[in-house]
Amino acid sequence: MLRESATGVTLAVRAQPGAKKTAITGVYGDGATAQLKISVQAPPLEGRANQALIAYLAELFSLPKNAVELVTGELSRSKVFLLRGVSTEAATAVLKVHSCTVSQ
């Protein structure tokens, strides 16, 4: 789910667009292929769900929106985001606060 990179960490996400509210709903899969499951209020039209995910992750990790980049999965439910300037330890701590079991 979390992987260290040269400029921060990457976070694997499984998006569920069209939900009642944007929130973390659990973990999808397990082991090395685990993804953070996030329900997204925005519909999957014209990149709106991607923009909503970027805004949500920026708020969750206390980052400016331009520090959150969609690396892969623009048209897929499975996505990978780069969180610039965030350490693996800090990201793990944030996710633990939000009741997510994180395995690296």
Has residue 101 got a pLDDT over 60? no
The label of the residue with tokens 């082991």 reads 31
Q: What's this model's pTM, rounded to 2 decimal places? A: 0.92
Distance (Å, whole) CA 100 – CA 94? 9
Tell me: the pLDDT tens digits for 44-72? Answer: 999 999 999 999 999 999 999 999 999 99
In our burial notation (b when 16+ CB lie closer than 10 A, e otherwise), range 64-95 reads: eeebbebeebeeebebbbbbeebebeebbebb
pLDDT in the model for residue 98: 79
* 18, containing H or E segment: none
The average pLDDT across 17-43 equals: 94
Residue ranges and CATH numbers for the domains of the chain are 2-97 (3.30.1200.10)
